[in-house]
């Protein structure tokens, strides 16, 4: 078989494993039926990074290791986006403006996925998650504040702009780095054509133009690494269970509020049965994993 055809087939295989909708349409076109094994295989991108690089015609090496990500499908997707990002930096046959645009877009794909992963692992309860995002954006201008909604069922239902602002306000307080992350998001949202127009217009009052003008492949790479390193550290910390003393500040028939580490939180409903004999003002011992109270004594 012609080598170009083999390469095309390999790319289709990779894409079918990345995109469920593409996989379904491809199988319809080929009159193929789904099986349990096929569904299982299509839920994960190839683990072998070398095979991924060859299939996607990528010659670059990855600049960030995502080994700390437990979910294989997400880990592989992050690696693919990182390889595509670095490949853009090396593709010298393309104009630098276009290469930098592709670099930034794939950098933000990683940022969005890693932010979602952080909030998914740190706040498994949707109520706690929404509270964290709401608190994290409470100091923003009104139109940028997040407000709880009953329509939100998963972390993906919350706009990335809110999650990114909450994350930056938590880990990069009073740091202008938040503006850089916001501009990376704008690059992704604006699209290639609009970004090229912004560059050609040379409008010094446009913050996105200034971002595209003054940033480099390396500065964007550093932005990405800073965020990933924080998430990695937080994920490792959240995997540990710590014990801490707390005080019951308000005990109601159907709810209990406790204070620990200079903050007040509501005890999970499933643990109320363990403090039936307690009173307001009593001390209790909490077991905490990440940001979640998992036990009380």
Q: Between 182 and 35, where is the model more confident?
A: 182
- pLDDT band at residue 292 under the 50/70/90 scheme: confident
Identify whether 50 is part of a domain.
Answer: no
Identify whether 85 is part of a domain.
Answer: yes
Q: Which of 21-25, 93-97, 115-119 has the highest mean pLDDT?
A: 115-119
Supply the pLDDT for residue 198.
87
Residues 200-229 pLDDT 10s:
888 888 888 888 889 999 999 999 999 999
Same domain assignment for residues 187 and 254: no
Burial letters 181-211, b for 16+ CB under 10 A, else e:
bbbbbbbbebeeeebbebbeeeeeeeebbeb
Same domain assignment for residues 228 and 252: no
Mean pLDDT of 134-141: 91
Supply the pLDDT for residue 36.
39
Same domain assignment for residues 32 and 61: no
φ/ψ of 196, rounded to 5, equals -65, -40
Same domain assignment for residues 185 and 96: yes
Same domain assignment for residues 180 and 234: yes
Instruction: Check: CB of residue 281 under 8 Å from CB of residue 271.
Output: no
Domain count, the chain: 3
Same domain assignment for residues 103 and 194: yes
Quote the pTM value.
Answer: 0.68
pLDDT for 82 beyond 90:
yes
120: nearest Cα among 167, 76, 165? 167
Same domain assignment for residues 111 and 179: yes
pLDDT for 42 beyond 60:
no
Least-confidence region, from 22-36, 55-69, 125-139? 22-36
- pLDDT band at residue 171 under the 50/70/90 scheme: very high
Same domain assignment for residues 277 and 229: no
Same domain assignment for residues 15 and 153: no
Host domain of residue 273: 241-296
Identify whether 290 is part of a domain.
Answer: yes
Identify whether 48 is part of a domain.
Answer: no
Cα gap 200→151, rounded to integer Å: 41
- pLDDT band at residue 55 under the 50/70/90 scheme: low
The length of the chain in residues reads 297
Mean residue pLDDT across the chain: 83
Supply the pLDDT for residue 50.
61
The CATH number of the domain holding residue 249 is 2.40.50.140
Residues with Cβ within 8 Å of 97's Cβ and at least 6 positions away in sequence, in order, are: 196, 199, 212
- pLDDT band at residue 174 under the 50/70/90 scheme: confident
Identify whether 171 is part of a domain.
Answer: yes
């Amino acid at each position: 078989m012609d080598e170009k055809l083999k390469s095309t087939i390999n790319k289709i295989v990779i894409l079918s494993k990345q995109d469920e909708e593409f996989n379904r349409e491809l199988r319809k076109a080929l009159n193929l039926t789904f099986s349990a094994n096929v569904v299982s295989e299509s839920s994960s991108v190839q683990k072998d990074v070398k095979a991924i690089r060859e299939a996607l015609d990528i010659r670059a090496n990855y600049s960030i290791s995502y080994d700390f990500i437990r979910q294989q499908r997400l880990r592989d997707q992050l690696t693919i986006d990182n390889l595509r990002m670095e490949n853009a930096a090396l593709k010298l046959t393309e104009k630098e403006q276009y290469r930098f645009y592709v670099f930034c877009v794939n950098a933000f794909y990683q940022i969005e996925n890693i932010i979602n992963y952080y909030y998914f692992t740190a706040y498994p309860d949707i109520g706690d998650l929404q509270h964290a995002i709401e608190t994290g954006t409470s100091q923003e201008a009104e139109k940028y504040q997040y407000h709880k909604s009953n329509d939100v069922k998963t972390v993906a239902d919350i706009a990335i702009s809110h999650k990114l602002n909450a994350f930056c306000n938590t880990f990069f307080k009073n740091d202008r780095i938040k503006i850089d992350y916001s501009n990376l998001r704008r690059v992704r949202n604006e699209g290639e054509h609009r970004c090229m127009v912004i560059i050609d217009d040379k409008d010094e009052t446009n913050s996105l133009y200034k971002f595209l003008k003054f940033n480099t492949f390396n500065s964007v790479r550093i932005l990405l690494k800073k965020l990933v390193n924080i998430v990695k550290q937080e994920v490792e910390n959240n995997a540990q269970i710590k014990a801490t003393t707390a005080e019951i500040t308000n005990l109601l028939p159907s709810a209990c509020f406790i204070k620990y580490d200079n903050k007040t939180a509501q005890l999970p409903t499933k643990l109320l049965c363990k403090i039936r004999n307690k009173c307001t003002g009593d001390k209790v011992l909490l077991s905490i994993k990440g940001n979640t109270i998992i036990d009380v004594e």
